[in-house]
Amino acid sequence: MKSVKSILAGATLALGLGGAAYAEDPLKVGFVYVGPIGDFGWSYEHDQGRLAVVEHFGDAVETSYVESVPEGADAERVLTQMALSGHDLIFTTSFGYMDPTINVAAKFPDVKFEHATGYKNADNVSTYSARFYEGRAVLGTIAGHMTETNQVGYIASFPIPEVIRGINSAYIHAQKVNPDVEFKIVWVYTWFDPAKEADAATALIEQGVDVIMQHTDSPAAMTIAEERGIMAFGQASDMAQFGPTARLSSIIDDWAPYYIARTQAVIDGTWESTSTWDGIKEGMVEIGEFSDRVPAEVQAEAQAISDSIVSGEYHAFTGPLNKQDGSVWLAEGETADDGTLAGMDFYVEGVEGDIPN
Amino acid sequence: MDLSSFDPVVLITTMMIAATPILLAALGELVAEKAGVLNLGVEGMMIFGAICGFMIAVNTGSPFLGFVAAAVGGAVLSLLFGLLTQYLLSNQVATGLALTLFGLGLSALLGQSYAGIKPPSTEKLDLPVLSDLPVVGPILFSHDLMVYFAIALVAGVWAVLKYTRAGLILRAVGENHDAAHALGYKVVRIRLLAIMFGGACAGLGGAYLSLVRVPQWTEGMTAGAGWIALAIVVFASWKPWRVLLGAWLFGGVTFLQLYLQAAGVSIPVEYLSMSPYVITIVVLVIMSADKNKAAMNAPASLGKQFHATH
């Protein structure tokens, strides 16, 4: 499918070039997605951001996208093709595109690249990500209150800092309100595979889990939670329609303002290589509406955490916190610095199991 | 190792469900390959079956009609492949790959307004007494009907290929199409039927994903299941019962590793995640140890074009 789309994109571009000689050259913005835009999760929200760019700039920009691009060598091919076909700005929207982005960017110094959730920058490569862990703090609080079996299931994708941060933040806040809570973590090693995500949810439910959190892209786990009568949270997108009863709240990614701002920067000629890491305050992370199923006092508590993160009074990683092995990480009142968070490779005390290498 | 939270009954029942989509798809591909046709479009036919089944099941409220529609949809899509490869003599590998791309794209288009809808639930077998038996009940007597259908289909395909005249003809076409043609058999017609059977099975497998296993429609939801089905046919050395074994083994190990993780068994996750693939490779090595036997099983005319010159 993706090759067909690329060919189509190429064809449209060729047509576009023909017309460009007469009209003012529109800025070409490309997007590379790890899943299909219809995943109703991660890639879906990035594409909503792309559509916002289209709406905001109208004819001044021309966007194209390639979906379901595997992380790794194939990404490099897709990126090269995009750069060759005259794109001025390319957003690569998955962690695994980090090295391909850096490699291709080195070959095309005039093309601006923006890589999501990574940590490698170059003169023409910016990085951007959202502080999803802030959202996890809010959801973790709800999970801690809502679980009756004290077992929270967590479907994790790949053992990268972003996912580990999410697990830690959710655990810390669930444990704060419910000292008996335990997290059962399943690594599925994929961002998008509905059948596997559903199987992971089933495996967790069989182990007595009654609340599921996920860091994968499809709403499969939400569907299983609905079917089995347990609770879950929307991830990346609201996912309400997949679990009308099961869904407690959600983390929604809103990339639109960032995409518009960056596109504007290229048009104005003010684009610079930056590292953006925005959270609830800036609106890049949104907390979905709380379900009626969540008691009012829990809603209030969750809202209070969200509010205090926004106001800057509270940081999701505030000491005293120990690492899993019991060594001190953060002293009383100390908060984590971004450097440690960006490279987080350890569980906090209380989380069971080992992080795969 | 703490095995207190380990429940083999859950494991076996879920494994049977997890294996059903690839079992159906692999079985269909086996029949097509036995007739000498290599159709790499399994993934495309599966996803097309998944959306056809989903659309019809949602609109009629009947999962049964959904499965029928999935089979028809898969067969129609495979007919496209059949016409291209059998009448226009296009390359089977390239056409199969194109079919996969086409199926993925077409299903994404058709499914646009079907995201977030819950399909009607498929009935499960509920026999008095039998379904309530401990251990045996959940494993043997409480699945949805498609699980039994898939197993029955394995038995059916095996019996037809081995004991009937139709099976013999099908195999003859796959082994040596010129000889079969010389004997007066309609090679192209037989192959078209085999291709359509393969398409129907793949469609059913896809619909099982969208109607039972994940109950939802998501673009690209087969996520490579069709390729696994193709591998299982080779793994099974074109024998129906081994297809069942292969599907259960792959489906079983895939679920087992997730289950062990959830149960907190202290085996490193890396090993668990790679286990389905490692076990598949090990079994392939063991089975191909006897070189002559393994090679003999592949239909001799597999993937070759047939053009009647007289």
List the single residue in A with minimal CA-CA distance to B21. A195
Name residues whose C-beta falls within 8 Å of residue A213's C-beta, 6 or more positions apart in sequence: A136, A139, A140, A143, A152, A153, A154, A155, A170, A232, A233, A235
> Does pLDDT of A256 surpass 70?
yes
Name residues whose C-beta falls within 8 Å of residue B113's C-beta, 6 or more positions apart in sequence: none
- Tell me the two tokens of residue A7: 């060919």
Which residues on chain A are in Cβ contact (under 8 Å) with B223? 190, 192-196
DSSP codes joined into one string, B178-242: HHHHHTT--HHHHHHHHHHHHHHHHHHHHHHIIIIIS-S--TTTTTTHHHHHHHHHHHTTT-HHH
> Does pLDDT of B268 surpass 90?
no
**3-state SS, one letter per residue, for B21-49:** HHHHHHHHHHHHHHCCCCCCCHHHHHHHH
Where residue B71 falls among pLDDT bands split at 50, 70, 90? very high
CB contact under 8 A, A223 and B215: yes
Percent of chain B with pLDDT over 70: 95
Tell me whether B256 touches chain A (CB under 8 Å).
no
Which residues on chain A are in Cβ contact (under 8 Å) with B2? none
Using DSSP's 3-state secondary structure scheme, residue A251 falls into strand
- Supply the pLDDT for residue B265: 77
- Supply the pLDDT for residue B66: 94
CB contact under 8 A, A184 and B216: no
Q: Does residue A177 belong to any structural domain of this protein?
A: yes
Could you report the predicted ipTM of this complex, rounded to two decimals? 0.82
CB contact under 8 A, A199 and B14: yes
Tell me whether A241 touches chain B (CB under 8 Å).
yes
Percent of chain B with pLDDT over 90: 52
CB contact under 8 A, B259 and A206: yes
Q: Does residue A188 belong to any structural domain of this protein?
A: yes
Which residues on chain B are in Cβ contact (under 8 Å) with A195? 18, 21, 209, 213-214, 221-223, 225
Where residue A19 falls among pLDDT bands split at 50, 70, 90? very low
Where residue A343 falls among pLDDT bands split at 50, 70, 90? confident
CB contact under 8 A, B262 and A227: no
Residue A178's domain comprises: 132-252+286-342
Residue A60 exposed, middle or buried by CB count within 10 Å (0-12, 13-18, 19+) = middle
Terminal-to-terminal C-alpha distance of chain A: 32
Which residues on chain A are in Cβ contact (under 8 Å) with B215? 223, 227
- Supply the pLDDT for residue B294: 57
Q: How far apart are CA A174 and CA A140, in angstroms?
A: 5
Q: Does residue A348 belong to any structural domain of this protein?
A: no
Q: Are B279 and B252 in contact (CB under 8 A)?
A: no
CB contact under 8 A, A219 and B216: yes
The mean-pLDDT minimum among A211-220, B196-205, B298-307 falls in B298-307
- Supply the pLDDT for residue A1: 44
Mean pLDDT of chain A: 90
- Supply the pLDDT for residue B3: 53
Name the domain boundary from A91, A109, A130.
A130
The mean-pLDDT minimum among A75-89, B47-61, B138-152 falls in B138-152
* Separation in Å, CA of A249 to nearest CA in chain B: 16
Where residue A320 falls among pLDDT bands split at 50, 70, 90? very high
Q: Does residue A269 belong to any structural domain of this protein?
A: no
Q: How far apart are CA B206 and CA B20, in angstroms?
A: 10
Q: Does residue A102 belong to any structural domain of this protein?
A: yes
Q: Which of A40, A203, A207 sits opposite B255 (nearest CB)?
A: A203
If asked whether residues A216 and A298 sit together in one domain, one would say: yes
Using DSSP's 3-state secondary structure scheme, residue A112 falls into strand
* pLDDT tens readout for residues B162-180: 999 999 999 999 999 999 9
Q: How far apart are CA A273 and CA A127, in angstroms?
A: 8
* pLDDT tens readout for residues A275-296: 999 999 999 999 999 999 999 9
CATH of the domain at A299: 3.40.50.2300
Alpha-carbon dihedral B163, B166, B172, B174, rounded to 10 degrees = -110
The dotted CATH code for B8-297 is: 1.10.3470
Tell me whether B164 touches chain A (CB under 8 Å).
no
If asked whether residues A137 and A126 sit together in one domain, one would say: no
**Optimal mutation site among A5, A44, A154, A202, interface B, most CBs of chain B within 10 A:** A202
- Supply the pLDDT for residue B157: 96
- Supply the pLDDT for residue B235: 83
If asked whether residues A119 and A148 sit together in one domain, one would say: no
Using DSSP's 3-state secondary structure scheme, residue A53 falls into helix
Where residue A21 falls among pLDDT bands split at 50, 70, 90? very low
- Supply the pLDDT for residue B73: 96
If asked whether residues A12 and A70 sit together in one domain, one would say: yes
Name the domain boundary from A97, A130, A163.
A130
Helix A194-206 and helix B8-34, axial crossing angle in degrees, nearest 10: 160
> Does pLDDT of A3 surpass 60?
no
Which residues on chain B are in Cβ contact (under 8 Å) with A207? 5, 259, 262-263
The number of C-beta contacts closer than 8 angstroms across A and B is: 126
CB contact under 8 A, B216 and A196: no
If asked whether residues A90 and A218 sit together in one domain, one would say: no
CB contact under 8 A, B218 and A220: yes
If asked whether residues A174 and A296 sit together in one domain, one would say: yes
Q: Does residue A224 belong to any structural domain of this protein?
A: yes
If asked whether residues A45 and A96 sit together in one domain, one would say: yes
If asked whether residues A125 and A139 sit together in one domain, one would say: no
Q: Count of domains in chain A?
A: 2
Q: Are A195 and B214 in contact (CB under 8 A)?
A: yes
Tell me whether A227 touches chain B (CB under 8 Å).
yes
If asked whether residues A219 and A149 sit together in one domain, one would say: yes
* Separation in Å, CA of B30 to nearest CA in chain A: 23
Domain boundaries, chain B: 8-297
Using DSSP's 3-state secondary structure scheme, residue B308 falls into coil
> Does pLDDT of A15 surpass 70?
no
Q: Are B16 and B143 in contact (CB under 8 A)?
A: yes
Which of A151, A154, A147, A144 has its CA nearest to residue A209? A151
Where residue B201 falls among pLDDT bands split at 50, 70, 90? very high
Q: How far apart are CA A101 and CA B290, in angstroms?
A: 46
Q: How far apart are CA B274 and CA B148, in angstroms?
A: 29
Residue B83 exposed, middle or buried by CB count within 10 Å (0-12, 13-18, 19+) = middle
* pLDDT tens readout for residues A30-71: 999 998 888 888 999 999 999 999 999 999 999 999 988 989
Which of B58, B105, B55 has its CA nearest to residue B77? B105
Which residues on chain B are in Cβ contact (under 8 Å) with A208? 5
CB contact under 8 A, B14 and A35: no
> Does pLDDT of B253 surpass 90?
no
Q: Does residue A270 belong to any structural domain of this protein?
A: no
The mean-pLDDT minimum among A105-114, A273-282, B215-224 falls in B215-224
Tell me whether B109 touches chain A (CB under 8 Å).
no
* pLDDT tens readout for residues A134-191: 999 999 999 999 999 999 999 999 999 999 999 999 999 999 999 999 999 999 989 8
Name the domain boundary from A80, A101, A130.
A130
If asked whether residues A152 and A242 sit together in one domain, one would say: yes
DSSP codes joined into one string, B58-126: HHHS-HHHHHHHHHHHHHHHHHHHHIIIIIS---HHHHHHHHHHHHHHHHHHHGGGGTTPPPPPPPB--
Alpha-carbon dihedral B146, B149, B151, B152, rounded to 10 degrees = 170
List the single residue in A with minimal CA-CA distance to B256. A203
If asked whether residues A164 and A295 sit together in one domain, one would say: yes
If asked whether residues A140 and A230 sit together in one domain, one would say: yes
Q: Does residue A265 belong to any structural domain of this protein?
A: no
